């Protein structure tokens, strides 16, 4: 047949070519990417894998450290202390902020949750090459399971955060508004997952992005009003509107309003945050799914 | 086998695995200094500045088509680096081919890969995780758990993190997990097996069980005896080329003679043998009809 010219470089050509008609109907292509809906179904049917993976790794996360899981809480406390010394006492960014310690604690603790979830989600595909090559399963389950793990791991962190706020004066009253931090944290987690999915695909291709990620996160932290308030440094109206579109700022704003200032967060904050969270999730899933076939390549 | 390929289904055959014009090319860093590596100019300069070794293409597998039918046991022989393991990885989906596609009637399962799964997790956690990843339910896993631990022979070590395992131990665990399902298409890469004598005995038993149940088997082995004993068809690969495809006795005999000549240093005789073998090869060309069902 038309073949034969293909292996021209092999010394003697084969004796002949036999054409075998094969119907590929009913066969599945190995490693092929399923349709988006089918992919989502597969992820759902692997929910047992996601939850098990997440729970198994929560307990093994800090096993190499002597203080183990205590670092989950010590880390933001030490961070908060550093920021308190430098920004609160030395640079005095606390001026004009009511209950600066509470303000700072919420900023540092919640930023750390996002930073960890995004970093680990971004590395999830690269770090699990062995599992990817050993088994055939929807790869998006890896970043999802990392994010579930981070949610589980953040529970003690959040409880510590609230306890610290209650300990440090001025004392805050516990109101029904405290419950509103749950939907805010949920939206934050959805946003983290979306970003993690996007970065996981990028890093699986170009590993160098891991080096840039820590810088990007630092810039994001400084831009999110973790230890100062925008109003003090930004006078330009339009610029202020733009920086207030930052999703993490809106998480912090909502939680601070509920916990510290006993005010109802504005609907704009909720809208901006929800748009970011679900927008990123949809973009993230589609973007990650598009490259499903490429993750097994080394 | 060409005569029995055409029967049934109005001239079409019902295959379990179809390898369609597949080729595999790796790009690997090379430390070879004086070599015609493409990219002097800007690319070469950038590489030098960044301290990266140049990448050279390696053709692990040249264009290959293959049809495996239900009931066939296909042995693959060849020297190291002939593309045996690459072919197995392509069929099992552990790598995607550079060109072409592999179709199968169900997801093939590969036995005998030496890979740590999640190093920080203990062996028992890895068992559950691996089984969940293969799509088993918790109830099924609970049923199989004991037999997997038994097969792995790890005993108390099953509770230790996998990073503390020796390479033999982790490959035993990996084998035991993969062998816990009854696949229709079974891939066995013996060349990668590193277990001790006791484990080899045990794994052989399980492999025979699975082989009896499976629809198609692909077996890579350096033991020509095993190939002759277990296979109904044998492929000889050499440097990414398919050299022979046919009766196990004939193919293993030709391959054995070829390697003997090489060991003696008679490279010319060996090359002639290879050419002779290849000149009798009838290459398969797959004509695909109908679109494949898309699934992972």
> What one-character DSSP code corresponds to residue A135?
-
In this structure, is residue B260 part of a structural domain? Answer: yes
Distance of CA A236 to the CA centre of its chain: 31
Residue at B185 is within a domain? yes
CB contact under 8 A, B92 and A30: yes
Structural contact between residues B191 and B219, judged by C-beta atoms closer than 8 angstroms: no
Question: Is B82 in contact with B240 (CB distance < 8 Å)?
Answer: yes
CB A207 within 8 A of CB A126: yes
Q: Cα separations (Å) of A259 from A74, A78, A88, A254, A262? A: 22, 22, 20, 9, 6
Q: How far apart are CA A53 and CA A135, in angstroms?
A: 14
- 3-class SS shares of chain B: helix, strand, coil, % to 5: 40, 25, 30
Residue of B nearest to A6 (CA): B63
| Interchain contact, B18 vs A19, CB within 8 Å | no
- 3-state SS class at B214: coil
Quote the CA–CA distance of B235 and B282 in Å, as a whole number: 12
For residue B7, what are its two tokens?
């029967």
Range of the domain at B264: 71-279
* Phi, psi angles (nearest 5°) of residue B167: -65, -35
- Which residues from B are below 8 Å from A57, CB to CB? 118, 120-121
| Pair B155, B77: CB distance under 8 Å | no
Angle subtended at Cα B18 by Cα B25 and Cα A22, rounded to the nearest 5 degrees: 130
Report how far apart, in Å, the C-alpha atoms of A211 and of each of A124, A126, A217 are: 15, 14, 11
How many H helices and E strands in chain A? Answer: 12, 2
Alpha carbon distance, N-terminus to C-terminus of chain B: 30
Token pair belonging to B241 = 């080329």
Query: Would you give the DSSP letter of residue B161?
Result: B
Q: Is A213 helix (H, G, I), strand (E, B) or coil?
A: helix
| Cβ-Cβ contacts under 8 Å, A63 against chain B | 120, 161
The answer to whether residue B1 is domain-embedded is no
Whether residues B296 and A16 touch (CB distance < 8 A) is answered with no
Contact A183, A191 (CB under 8 A): no
DSSP lists the bridge partners of residue B283 as A17
Residues 187 to 246 of B: which have CB under 8 A from any A CB?
A: 241
> How many Å apart are CA A286 and CA B292, to the nearest integer?
22
Q: How many domains does chain B have?
A: 1
Examine residue B133 and state whether it is found in any structural domain, yes or no: yes
Asked if the C-beta of A35 comes within 8 angstroms of chain B's C-beta atoms, the answer is yes
Nearest of B106, B84, B109, B104 to residue B18 by alpha carbon: B104
B16 is a domain residue = no
Q: How far A123 CA lies from chain B's nearest CA (Å)?
A: 14
The label of the residue with tokens 């060849």 reads B78
Interchain CB distance below 8 Å, A30 and B107: yes
**Interface contacts A/B by beta carbons within 8 Å:** 205
Alpha-carbon distance A84 to B128, whole Å? 45
Residue B128 lies in a domain: yes
Intervals of chain B under pLDDT 50: 1-11, 36, 292-296
Q: What CATH number has the domain bearing residue B199?
A: 3.40.50.300
In a domain, B272, yes or no: yes
- Distances, alpha carbon A175 to alpha carbons A157, A181, A261, in Å: 20, 12, 11
B20 is a domain residue? no
Give the integer Cα–Cα distance in Å for B225 and B252.
9
Token duo for residue B200: 């080899």
| Per-residue pLDDT of chain A in tens (298 residues, 90 and over written 9) | 333 334 334 445 666 777 777 777 778 888 778 899 999 999 999 999 999 989 888 776 666 667 777 777 788 888 888 878 887 777 777 777 888 888 888 998 899 999 999 999 999 998 888 788 778 889 999 999 999 999 998 888 898 888 888 888 777 888 888 999 999 999 999 999 999 999 999 999 888 898 999 999 999 998 888 877 877 777 788 888 888 899 999 999 999 999 988 888 899 999 999 999 999 999 999 999 999 888 876 5
**Model pTM score:** 0.79
């Amino acid at each position: 047949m038309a073949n034969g010219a293909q292996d021209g470089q092999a010394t003697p050509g084969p004796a002949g070519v036999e054409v075998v008609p094969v119907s590929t109907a009913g066969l599945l292509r190995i490693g092929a990417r399923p349709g988006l809906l089918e992919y989502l179904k597969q992820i759902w049917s692997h929910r047992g894998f996601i939850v098990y993976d997440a729970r198994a790794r929560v307990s093994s996360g800090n096993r190499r450290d002597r203080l183990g899981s205590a670092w989950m809480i010590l880390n933001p406390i030490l961070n908060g202390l550093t920021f308190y010394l430098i920004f609160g006492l030395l640079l005095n960014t606390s001026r004009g902020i009511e209950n600066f310690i509470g303000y700072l604690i919420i900023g540092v603790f919640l930023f750390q949750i996002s930073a960890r979830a995004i970093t680990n989600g971004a590395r999830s595909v690269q770090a699990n090459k062995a599992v990817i090559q050993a088994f055939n399963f929807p790869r998006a389950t890896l970043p999802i399971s990392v994010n579930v793990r981070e949610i589980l791991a953040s529970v003690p962190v959040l409880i510590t955060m609230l306890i610290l706020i209650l300990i440090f004066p001025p004392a805050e009253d516990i109101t029904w508004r405290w419950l509103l931090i749950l939907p805010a944290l949920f939206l934050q987690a959805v946003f983290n997952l979306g970003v993690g999915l996007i970065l996981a695909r990028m890093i699986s291709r170009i590993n160098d992005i891991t080096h840039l990620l820590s810088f990007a996160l630092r810039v994001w932290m400084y831009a999110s009003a973790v230890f100062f308030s925008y109003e003090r440094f930004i006078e330009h109206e339009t610029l202020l509107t733009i920086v207030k579109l930052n999703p993490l700022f809106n998480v912090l704003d909502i939680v601070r309003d509920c916990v510290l200032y006993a005010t109802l967060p504005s609907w704009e904050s909720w809208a901006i945050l929800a748009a970011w969270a679900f927008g990123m999730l949809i973009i993230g899933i589609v973007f990650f799914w598009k490259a499903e076939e490429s993750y097994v390549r080394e | 086998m060409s005569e029995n390929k055409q029967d049934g289904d109005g001239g079409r055959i019902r295959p379990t695995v179809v390898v369609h014009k597949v080729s595999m090319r790796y790009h690997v860093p090379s430390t070879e200094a004086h070599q015609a590596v493409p990219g002097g100019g800007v690319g070469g300069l950038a590489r030098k500045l960044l301290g990266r070794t140049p990448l050279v293409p390696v053709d692990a597998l040249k264009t290959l088509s293959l049809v495996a039918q239900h009931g066939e046991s296909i042995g693959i022989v060849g020297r190291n680096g002939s593309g045996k393991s690459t072919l197995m990885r392509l069929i099992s989906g552990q790598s995607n081919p550079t060109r072409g596609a592999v179709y199968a009637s169900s997801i093939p399962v590969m036995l005998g890969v030496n890979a740590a799964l999640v190093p920080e997790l203990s062996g028992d956690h890895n068992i559950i995780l691996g089984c969940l990843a293969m799509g088993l339910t918790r109830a099924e896993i609970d049923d199989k758990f004991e037999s997997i631990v038994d097969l792995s022979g790890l005993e108390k070590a099953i509770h230790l993190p996998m990073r503390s395992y020796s390479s033999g131990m982790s490959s035993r665990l990996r084998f035991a997990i993969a062998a816990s399902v009854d696949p229709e298409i079974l891939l066995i890469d013996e060349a990668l097996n590193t277990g001790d004598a006791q484990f080899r005995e045990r794994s052989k038993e399980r492999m025979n069980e699975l082989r009896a149940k499976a629809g198609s088997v692909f077996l890579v082995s350096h033991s020509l005896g095993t190939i002759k004993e277990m296979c109904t068809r044998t492929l000889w690969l050499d440097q990414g080329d398919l050299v022979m495809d046919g009766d196990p006795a004939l193919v293993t005999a030709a391959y054995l003679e070829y390697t003997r000549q090489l060991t003696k240093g008679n490279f010319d005789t060996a090359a002639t043998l290879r050419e002779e073998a290849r000149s009798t090869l009838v290459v398969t060309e797959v004509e695909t009809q109908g679109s494949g069902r898309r699934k992972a």
